[in-house]
A and B are shown apart, each in its own frame.
Chain A
Amino acid sequence: MRTALPRRLLVAALTVLLVVTATFVALHLVPGDPVRLFLGPGADPATVDATRHALGLDRPLPVQYLEWLTRFAGGRWGTSIAQQRPVSAVIGDAVGPTLLLVGASLLLTYVGGLLLGAWQAARRASRTDAAVTAATTLLYALPSYVVALGLVATFAYGTALWRWPAVLRFPAFGAAGLGADLLGPAARFTDRLRHLALPVATLAIVGVAGTARFVRGAVIDALRQPFVRAARAKGLRESRVLLRHALRNALGPVVTLFGLQLPALFSGVVFVESIFAWPGMGRVTVQAVLARDYPVVMASTAVFAVLVVAGNLLADALAALTDPRRRTAA
C-alpha cells in the first residue's frame, strides 16, 4: 500500500480531471445553445446576451476551460440559476443526506450479501440454494425505481389501507417529518430512522441480491481449495471452516466488486432520491436538469465522480487490509 498509494492518488486525480473536462466538453460540444434552452425560444436578444455573459459563455473556449478548472478546484461553482444561491451551498446541503443513504445501504448490502452468499454456498446445489438464487437473480433484474414503488405501495399506502400496526407504516417522502425540529433528540433520531427505512431498503434489496450472487460463487470457489480440506482434516467445525477460512478468502474479490459497484449504487441513488423526495445529490441533479440549471448540473456530475473516486480509494485501502499480497502491488 505504501508504494502503491501515490500511484492510486494520481489515477484518482486524473479521473476527476477527466470527468470535469467531460462535463465541460459536453456542455460546449453538444449541439444546441444552453442559454436558449434555458431561456426558451421567446427570449429577447438582450436577455440572451446578458445571460450568456453572466454564465461566462461568451469568452474563448480555452479561457472558459481553464476558468472552469480553477473554479472547480477552488469550490467556486457559480450561482444556481433556479435557486439563486451559490452552487456550493446547494450541493453542500445535499452531500450529507446522500452519504447517509449510501453509507447505510452499503452496510446492509455487505452484511446481508456476505451472510446470504455464505449461507447459500454452505448448502450449494440444494433446493433452498436454487430457490434463493432464483430470487436474487429476479431482484437483481428489477430496476431500483420498481423496487421503490413496490415498497411505497406496501409499506406507505398498503399498511394504512390494510390497517397493519403503525410500526409497519413508513413515511415515503422526505428525510424528516413535519415539525421534526421541535422533537427531542431521541424522537428526532427515530423520525430520521423511519424516513431512512424505505429508501435504504430499496438500495439494500438490490445490493444484497447482487452481492449474494457474487459471494456465493466466490465462497464455493474457496471451498474447493486445498486449505479448506486441510482445515476440515484438522477437525474444525464446519461453521468455522466456512466463516474463518472460506468466506475470509472470498473477501478479496468482494472488495474488488465494491469498487465496481459504486458507480451503479450512485446511479440507483438518483432514482431512489427522486421517488422518496430525499434531499440529496440525486434529487438536486434531477431537479437541476428539469430546470436547466447548468451550473448545478455540471458541479453535481463532477461531485458524483469525486464521491465514486473516493469510494474506490477506500476500496483499495480495504483490499490492502483484507489481502496482504496487494499491499505492494500496483
Chain B
Amino acid sequence: MSARTGLLAGAWADPRARAGAALIAVFVVGAIAGPLLLDHPAGGFADIVARRFAGPLSRTPDGAWHALGTDRFGRDVLGRLLAGARISLAVGVLAALVSTAVGVGAGAVAGYAGGAVDRAIVAVTDAALAIPRVPFLLLLVALVEPGAVVTVLALGVTGWMTVARLVRSEVRSLDVREFVQAARALGAPPLRVLLAHVLPNALTPALVAAALGVGSAIMLEAGLSFLGLGVQPPMPSWGNMIASGRDALMIAPWVSLAPAVAVALVVLAFSWIADAMESVLAGERVP
C-alpha cells in the first residue's frame, strides 16, 4: 500500500472525513440533478409581485411549491441554489486543480534542482505568501471582464504557495533516500528520477493542502461574486445570490441565508476531510 492510499484509507476511517464526503456528494448530486428535476415555470417574471419573497415551504399563487422560497424576482431559491452549486463547485475544484498543479510544479523544481533555482523559487513563494489574496484578486479581475474562467485562473495563480512549500520540503527529504539513490545509480535520467520516483511519494501532504484549497477557492469565488466582481447575474452563483438578498435581510432572510449556509457547509466539508487527513499524517509520525 502506498503512502497515499494509506492516507486516504486512514482518513476514511475518520467520521469527519465520511461526513464531509457525504455532504459534498449531496451537493454534487443536487448540482447535477437539481436543475433537471426542479420544474418551475420559466415565465415567472409575468407576475413578479405575486410570486416574489414567498417564504420557504410555501406555495406561490400560481401553485408552484418552493422548498426554500422565492427571491425578489419570484425565482425559486432552491433552483438557483442548485444551479449556482454547479458554478461554485466547478470553479472551486478547477481553481484548486490549477493552484495544486502550479504548486507541485514549483515545489518539485525547487526541491529537486536546489541551488540558485531553489533560492529564487523560495523567494518568490515567500513574497507571494505575503500578498493579501483578495486585494491581488481584485487587481486581476479589474484588468479583464469578470467571469467564471477569469475567476478560476485568478484563484489558481494566487493559491499555489502552500502546496509548493510542502512539495519542496518533501522532495528534498526524499532526494537522499535509498530508493532514489538506487534509481540514480542504475542510470535513470534526472527527469525520470523526479517524475517516477520522487514526485509520486511527495504528493501526500499536498493532498491536505489541495482539500483545503477547494474550500477556500469556493469561499473566495463567492466573495468575489458577492462584491459583483465574479460570476455576473443573472447567472446564479452563491456569492451573487447572497448579495442579491442583502437589502431584504429582514423581510426575506432565506434569500441570503440559503446560499450562505451552502458556502459554509461545503467549506466545512472540505476542512473536515483535510482535518482527517492531517490527523492520519500526524499519527504516522508519532512513534
A, B in one complex? yes
A34 near B143 (CB under 8 angstroms)?
A: yes
- Is residue A292 contacting chain B, with contact meaning CB distance below 8 A? yes
With the chains together, A161 CA to B249 CA distance in Å? 12
Tell me whether A149 and B249 are in contact in the complex, defined as CB-CB below 8 angstroms, given that A14-B127, A23-B139, A32-B144 are known contacts: yes
Interface check B155, CB cutoff 8 A: no
A149 CB contact (under 8 Å) in B138, B145, B256, B267: B256
Partner of B134, one of A15, A266, A297: A266
A142 to B264 Cα, complex, angstroms: 5
- Can you name the residue of chain A whose Cβ is closest to the Cβ of B215? A141
Determine whether B287 belongs to the interface, using a CB cutoff of 8 Å to chain A.
no
Q: Which listed residue, B140, B142, B250, touches A292 by the CB 8 Å rule? A: B142
A14 and B129 alpha carbons, distance in the complex (Å): 13
CB distance from A48 to the nearest CB of B (A): 17
Residue in B136, B227, B263 whose CB lies within 8 Å of A146: B263
Q: Which residues of A contact B242 (CB under 8 A)?
A: 145-146, 149
| A18 contact set on B, CB distance < 8 A | 123-124, 127-128
Tell me, yes or no, whether B47 is within 8 Å of chain A by CB. no
Bound-state CA distance A282–B181 (Å) is: 51
A161 touches B250 (CB 8 A): yes
Complex Cα spacing A298 to B242, Å: 28
Q: How many A-B residue pairs have CB under 8 A?
A: 139
A304 to B136, CA, bound (A): 9
Please state if B250 and A158 are interface contacts (CB–CB under 8 Å): yes
* Contacting pair A285 B135 (CB below 8 A): yes
B90 close to A (CB within 8 Å): no
The residue in chain B whose Cβ has the minimal distance to the Cβ of A268 is: B134
| Contact status of A305 and B249, CB under 8 A, knowing A26-B139, A26-B140 | no
B143→A290 contact, CB < 8 A: no
B interface, by DSSP: helix, strand, loop or mixed?
Answer: helix
| Contact digits for A289-311, partner B, Cβ 8 Å, 1 yes 0 no | 11010100110110011001100
Range of interface residues on chain A? 35 or more
- Assess whether B123 is in contact with A297, with CB atoms less than 8 Å apart: no
Chain A residue nearest to B123 in the complex (CB): A14
Verify A289–B141 contact, CB threshold 8 A.
yes
B135–A304 contact, CB under 8 A?
Answer: yes
Within 8 A of A (CB), among B242-273: 242, 246, 249-250, 253, 256, 260, 263-264, 267-268, 271
Mark interface residues in A258-270 (1 if CB within 8 Å of B CB, else 0). Answer: 0010111111101
Q: Which residue in B130, B134, B222, B253 is a CB contact (below 8 Å) of A305?
A: B130
A111 at interface, CB cutoff 8 A: no
Question: Knowing A152-B249, A157-B249 touch, does A305 contact B131 (C-beta < 8 A)?
Answer: yes
> Are B127 and A143 in contact, CB atoms less than 8 angstroms apart?
no
- Interface residue from B130, B134, B228 paired with A312 (Cβ < 8 Å): B130
CA distance A294 to B142 in the complex (A): 8
B136's partner among A27, A140, A288, A301 (CB-CB below 8 A) is A301
* Least CB distance, A31 to chain B, in whole angstroms: 7
Is A290 within 8 A of B127, CB to CB? no
Q: Evaluate contact between A271 and B250: CB separation under 8 angstroms.
A: no
Q: Which of B135, B140, B250 has the most chain A CB atoms closer than 10 A to its own CB?
A: B135
Mark out the residues of chain B between 172 and 221 whose CB falls within 8 Å of any chain A CB in the assembled complex.
215, 219
Which residue from B130, B138, B145, B226 sits with its C-beta under 8 Å from A297? B138
Taking CB atoms, residues of chain A closer than 8 Å to B253 are 153
A9-52: CB near B (< 8 Å → 1, else 0) gives 00100110011001100110011101001000000000000000
Distance (Å) between the CB of A313 and the closest chain B CB? Answer: 10
Indicate if B43 sits at the interface (CB-CB under 8 A).
no
Q: Which residues of A contact B129 (CB under 8 A)?
A: 260, 263
Are A271 and B134 in contact, with the CB atoms below 8 A? yes
Give complex CA distance A270, B135 in Å.
7
Establish whether residues B132 and A263, one from each chain, have CB atoms under 8 Å apart when the complex forms.
yes
What are the 3 A-B residue pairs with the smallest beta carbon separation, nearest first?
Answer: A267-B134, A266-B132, A18-B127
Binding site for A on B (CB under 8 A): 123-124, 126-136, 138-145, 215, 219, 222-223, 226-229, 242, 246, 249-250, 253, 256, 260, 263-264, 267-268, 271
